[in-house]
Structure 1
């Protein structure tokens, strides 16, 4: 049995990492802490972020933001109203392929495939939302 997917949505976000660099360095450390806690998943992302140096933190936070904005754009309006950034997290499957998910996401048999690229200060994330269909 194989699985294929029915495309439900596609989302794209592009952002300059310098935007987050300014937010993380020009504001107080409490502001940076509050911002990262609003964006990053408390178990899967925040501990990694806190262990990074400042430059890597900017890249990581920018990538998380872009990925989650792209997910948001794949959702129907009713699901967008319930969207909370720090409930979603990025990870990789056993082959190293990136994905993004939310353990609280209400719909079964869906997956969110992620592609993310960094070029100098630009970060772009694309998310494909698909419903999994089992084929015999």
Structure 2
């Protein structure tokens, strides 16, 4: 899939995911995070689960999302899946790192301070953390000036994430 939109010269791929939020609620009920002194305490089992799909920056922001933890975690999971699906449509399978490596090291989801809109940042320390995937990073992230566009919506029990991988003309 190739095309263009204003501000970007090439659309490489798209990805989508849907999360049923009661599944996240059930996970949190089974492995709760305790609140002490206004902060969420890490329960070791939850920490092990989160380390399989959350980037350290996302995990460090859990405290900021105490009031909407289910939506926060669901949004991260859906983002990881949507971006991975988009990468799978763009990067040949032989060149793609394992999903867990992509989820926890390649990028993280944060929200804009101004308007709360979600967006994705590719972690430029990926190459040093995972030197065996340096060629992947150089070829498909850095050399293509890759940017991930993200939209998240939720309604009732469901959260939807849509991603688009594009070439960022601003970095040319």
Taking structure 1 as the reference length, the TM-score comes to 0.80
- CA shift for structure 1 position 92: 4.4
Q: Which has the larger radius of gyration?
A: 2
Partner residue of 1:47 out of 54, 60, 73 = 60
Greater percentage in strand:
1
**Structure 2 unaligned runs (5+)?**
1-5, 33-42, 128-136
Larger CA deviation: 98-107 vs 115-124: 98-107
Question: Could you say if the C-alpha distance between residues 92 and 120 of structure 1 is closer, same or farther in structure 2, counting changes exceeding 3 Å?
Answer: same
CA contact (8 A) 1:36 1:46 kept: yes
- CA shift for structure 1 position 114: 0.3
- CA shift for structure 1 position 15: 1.0
- How many residue pairs get matched? 131
- CA shift for structure 1 position 49: 0.9
- CA shift for structure 1 position 47: 1.7
Please tell me the root mean square deviation across aligned C-alpha atoms, in Å: 2.5
Please give the alpha-carbon distance, in whole angstroms, between the structure 2 residues aligned to 1:5 and 1:26. 46
SS at match of 2:61: helix
CA contact (8 A) 1:72 1:80 kept: no
Q: 1:86: which partner in 2? A: 104
Larger RCO (CA within 8 A; separation ≥ 6): 1
Question: Could you say if the C-alpha distance between residues 80 and 19 of structure 1 is closer, same or farther in structure 2, counting changes exceeding 3 Å?
Answer: farther
Question: Could you say if the C-alpha distance between residues 23 and 48 of structure 1 is closer, same or farther in structure 2, counting changes exceeding 3 Å?
Answer: same
Q: 2:156: which partner in 1? A: 120
**Structure 1 unaligned runs (5+)?**
none
Question: Segments of 4+ in structure 1 off by > 6 A?
Answer: none
Please give the alpha-carbon distance, in whole angstroms, between the structure 1 residues aligned to 2:78 and 2:98. 18
Q: 2:122: which partner in 1? A: 102
- CA shift for structure 1 position 6: 0.4
- CA shift for structure 1 position 81: 3.3
